[in-house]
Amino acid sequence: ELLIIAGAASGTLLVANPVRILKDIVAGLMASLKGSPFTKARYLSTLKMMYQFLNKVRKEGLLAVEMDVEKPEESTIFKNYPEFLGDHHARDFVCDTLRTAITGGVEPFDMDQMMELDMEVHHSAAVQPANSLNTVADSLPGLGIVAAVLGVVITMGSLGGPPEEIGKHVAAALVGTFLGILLCYGVVGPLAASMSKLADEHNEYLHVLRVLLLAFLKGSAPMIAIELGRRAIPAYARPNFDEMEKNCKNK
């Protein structure tokens, strides 16, 4: 039963997905076990970083931050926020948007369209590992039934033998169904759901960056842009205005 269920599920996963998605599944499982990084503290840190960065742009102009955007690891602002630098999707999202703004000639509406497209492409790729794992979870009850049917076949071949041997085979057949349902609804399914929620939370994080960047590119003051970004933070992690203001102005 274990060989049929685990082996067939693993084989299905390997055959149905390219190597990149298999790697993303492993990375997603590890990230899910660590818990969500998008807490109130993470959002406060991001708002403070963007406030410092936008203030520099406001005082010195977009050209003054060209090197910060080209080499964020060496930026005097970004290097103080290792969580942001470690999130290469968010880092590239911010830096590519600002790089385009420095180039000039792009209207805020078009910039918003580019950011939205970037988010859609990233989110589509981010949910693929979760969807693949969820497909495997859906197949597990069926694989359990296959194992149970094989157990029944073995049982039928043992008819006429000792009753205790027949009972052992029947029990083994029922274990196959039990394992398939347990692994589906108790292990693989919840892990896939956790990975999907984590991808959604990352998309919400990018949306906050999109809102505040667009507000600033439209001409809003840094603090107003940061406040608009704060309003876009999900309710479970949103700081209040006083927390944001004290955090941003605290050197």
For residue 5, what pLDDT is reported? 85
Structure tokens at 233: 């933070």
Q: Are 83 and 77 a contacting pair, CB within 8 Å?
A: no
Give the chain's length: 251
Greatest Cα-to-Cα distance within the chain, rounded to the nearest angstrom: 91
Q: What is the spatial distance between Cα 117 and Cα 110, in angstroms, rounded to a whole number?
A: 11
pTM given for the model: 0.87
For residue 196, what pLDDT is reported? 94
Q: How far is CA 183 from CA 152, 221, 228, in A?
A: 21, 53, 43
For residue 251, what pLDDT is reported? 60
Q: How many CB atoms lie within 10 A of CB 200?
A: 16
For residue 150, what pLDDT is reported? 82
In a 3-state reduction of DSSP, which class is residue 221? coil
Nearest to 244 by CA among 230, 234, 232: 230
Nearest to 139 by CA among 6, 3, 1: 6
Residue ranges, the chain, pLDDT below 50 = none
For residue 23, what pLDDT is reported? 93
Nearest to 94 by CA among 191, 214, 182, 196: 214
Q: What's the sign of the alpha-carbon dihedral 145, 146, 149, 154? A: negative
Q: What is the spatial distance between Cα 94 and Cα 92, in angstroms, rounded to a whole number?
A: 5
Q: How many CB atoms lie within 10 A of CB 73?
A: 9
